[in-house]
Amino acid sequence: MINKNIYLIEDLSKAEMTPTRDGFGKGLVEAGAKDEKIVVLCADLAESTRCHWFKEKFPDRYIEIGVAEQNLAAVASGLANYGKIPFIASYAAFSPGRNNEQIRTLVSLSRLPVKICGGHAGVSVGPDGATHQALEDIALMRVQPNMTVIVPCDALEAQKATLAAAFGGGPTYLRFGREKTPVFTTKETPFEIGKAVIFRDPSISSGRAADVTVIGCGALLHNALMAAEELSKEGIEAEVINCHTVKPLDAETILNSVKKTGAIVSVEEHQIAGGLGSAVAEMLAQNFPAPQEFIGVHDRFGESGEASELIEALGMGVKDIKAAIINAIKRKK
């Protein structure tokens, strides 16, 4: 499927496959080379989170905390109070899942520049099952005052997001996945915290006006783009927005799109309660109410299985996004 947007690779169906956690690991090393104040703390998962690359390069700035996620946040807050820029890493189910209170009280409340890095998020962690499939982490972090929440769509964006977070000031949550997912952005694709990017503009790709807005974060954005391309052949056009920063939300870009299209579909690998879709719905309710369909996990836990099977089984595949787009358009009519 040929893409005419300069921000993306030419053929979306032929993207290389790389986990977003790899982009995080590369970004850590790059950030560490730029500033000696950057330190990394891990909860006994250095290789899984890709922190081991930083450890190999800067062993004096790596701290192994062990399986003690509450302590992970507490030690990081102390380091931040003394001028360091700490990145803390674990599975998202455990950080921020297990240490939410420490993050809230010791990091967010004090506006400390601790970067919470949740790996293996979503159901695409696969066979690890429900206990390890973090589906509530965006909601946990989004409600905390002072917290920035970033969900990169691919490994390249994850690398850019890690760098931006390192030098971006206050508390930040970064969400990554284990599964290999398409790398469909390029080195030239812009990334700025708090600024959503239009990845598909029908006026460019087909010369037609958009019928619906599709907004997503994380690797599922590729599914959203594929769904939009397939529907284009049926005469239905979608404007697709990459909302990598869930908080602060880029209300201006979203509103400009929805005011043109009159309907929206949110796409995320997370509970539909409390995540990106909720953030968008809250903003629209105050500014420009419009029909919205939600792609995500609907009030249930995950289960063991292959990543691709779970995405389909829980209603987050390309066909599900296509159906949601059609429903959103029907509702506005």
- How many residues are given for the chain? 333
Quickly list DSSP for 106-165. Answer: IIITTT---EEEEESBSGGGGGG-GGG-B-SHHHHHHTSTT-EEE--SSHHHHHHHHHHH
Is residue 204 very low, low, confident or very high in pLDDT (cuts 50, 70, 90)? Answer: confident
Residues 321-333: tens digit of each pLDDT: 999 999 999 998 7
The answer for residues whose C-beta is within 8 angstroms of residue 83's C-beta and 6 or more apart is 37
Catalytic, out of 69, 229, 239, 293: 69
What SS3 state is found at 105? helix
Domain that holds residue 158: 16-183
Residues 147-187: tens digit of each pLDDT: 999 999 999 999 999 999 999 989 999 999 999 999 999 99
Last residue of a domain, one of 153, 183, 213: 183
Last residue of a domain, one of 122, 154, 183: 183
Residues 32-51: tens digit of each pLDDT: 999 999 999 999 999 999 99
Residues 102-149: tens digit of each pLDDT: 999 999 999 999 999 999 999 999 999 999 999 999 999 999 999 999
Q: Is residue 8 part of a domain?
A: no
Last residue of a domain, one of 138, 163, 183: 183
Asked if 60 and 200 sit in the same domain, the reply is no
Quickly list DSSP for 225-271. Answer: HHHHHHHHTTT--EEEEE--EEES--HHHHHHHHHHHS-EEEEEEEE
Identify the pLDDT of residue 6: 60
Q: Is residue 11 part of a domain?
A: no
DSSP secondary structure letter of residue 173: E
Is residue 97 very low, low, confident or very high in pLDDT (cuts 50, 70, 90)? Answer: very high
Asked if 33 and 53 sit in the same domain, the reply is yes
Q: Indicate yes or no: pTM above 0.85.
A: yes
- On the question of a cis peptide bond just before residue 19, with omega within 30 degrees of 0, the verdict is no
The partner residues of 266 in beta bridges, in order of sequence, read 215, 294
Asked if 275 and 320 sit in the same domain, the reply is yes
Burial (0-12, 13-18, 19+ Cβ within 10 Å), 294: buried
Residue 154 · residue 161 · CB < 8 Å: no
The answer for residues whose C-beta is within 8 angstroms of residue 323's C-beta and 6 or more apart is none
Identify the pLDDT of residue 74: 98
Exposed e or buried b per residue across 29-65, where buried means at least 16 C-beta atoms within 10 angstroms of its C-beta = bbbbeeeebbbbbbbebbebbbbbbbbeebeebbbeb
Q: Is residue 9 part of a domain?
A: no
Which among 291, 149, 275, 268 has a CA at the least distance from the CA of 213?
A: 291
Residue 212 · residue 263 · CB < 8 Å: yes
Asked if 171 and 219 sit in the same domain, the reply is no
Q: Which of 5-14, 61-70, 286-295 has the lowest mean pLDDT?
A: 5-14
DSSP β-ladder status, 16-18 and 181-183: antiparallel
Mean pLDDT of the residues in the chain: 96
Q: Return the structure tokens found at 323.
A: 């159906």
Q: Tell me the C-alpha distance between 96 and 13, whole Å.
A: 34
The partner residues of 91 in beta bridges, in order of sequence, read 119
Asked if 178 and 201 sit in the same domain, the reply is no
Identify the pLDDT of residue 5: 61
Asked if 215 and 238 sit in the same domain, the reply is yes
Identify the pLDDT of residue 7: 86
Does 69 qualify as catalytic in the annotation?
yes
> Has residue 1 got a pLDDT over 60?
no
Angle between the N-to-C axes of helices 155-166 and 20-34, in degrees from 0 to 180, rounded to the nearest 10: 30
**Residues 232, 310, 125, 175, CA torsion sign:** positive
